[in-house]
């Protein structure tokens, strides 16, 4: 009989915890950026766009999420104004620490280092690329 009461108490505490969280907190726990990034890589832009917008509402300073939203806005939505806003924000957020911690998200910016022969991601290369994208969007 003791085990039954303990089990019942554990269930009640679990439900109390779940109902104490707001819906956005519950959603944030389920919405993982690496899953969104995988959808983008797989070309599932409709689904990824929705998830990315929700993710950015909860994580507005996520560097790569801002970059990916900018690319979607420019290439998929054909909305240069929106793209420029996200590119500008990404430009401010992407630093050496970000690149070191999340290098896997920046593979498209890898260049061969002439000294070592290794492929590396450099902040200066990303900065140059994003500034060029902003300039090209402003012209159109």
Domain segments of the chain as ranges: 22-139
* Predicted confidence (pLDDT) per residue in 25-45, tens digit: 444 446 899 999 999 999 999
CATH number of 22-139: 1.25.40.10
Confidence (pTM):
0.77
String of DSSP letters for the chain? -HHHHHHHHHHHHHHHHHHHS-HHHHHHHH--HHHHHHHHHTT-HHHHHHHHHHHHHH-TT-HHHHHHHHHHHHHTS--HHHHHHHHHHHHHH--HHHHHH-GGGGGGG-EE-TTT--EE--HHHHHHHHHHHHHHHHH-
Model confidence pLDDT, tens digit, residues 45-86: 999 999 999 999 999 999 999 999 999 999 999 999 999 999
Predicted confidence at residue 38, as pLDDT, reads 97
């Amino acid at each position: 009989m003791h085990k039954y009461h303990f089990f019942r108490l554990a269930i009640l505490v679990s439900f109390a915890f779940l109902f104490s969280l707001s819906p956005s907190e519950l959603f944030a726990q389920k919405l993982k950026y690496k899953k969104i990034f995988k959808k983008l890589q797989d070309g599932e832009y409709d689904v990824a766009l929705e998830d990315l917008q929700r993710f950015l509402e909860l994580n507005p300073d996520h560097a790569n999420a801002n970059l990916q939203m900018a690319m979607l806005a420019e290439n998929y939505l054909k909305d240069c104004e929106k793209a420029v806003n996200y590119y500008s924000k990404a430009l401010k957020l992407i630093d050496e620490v970000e690149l070191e911690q999340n290098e896997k998200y920046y593979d498209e910016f890898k260049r061969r280092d002439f000294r070592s022969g290794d492929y590396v991601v450099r902040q200066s290369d990303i900065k140059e690329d994003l500034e060029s994208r902003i300039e090209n969007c402003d012209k159109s």
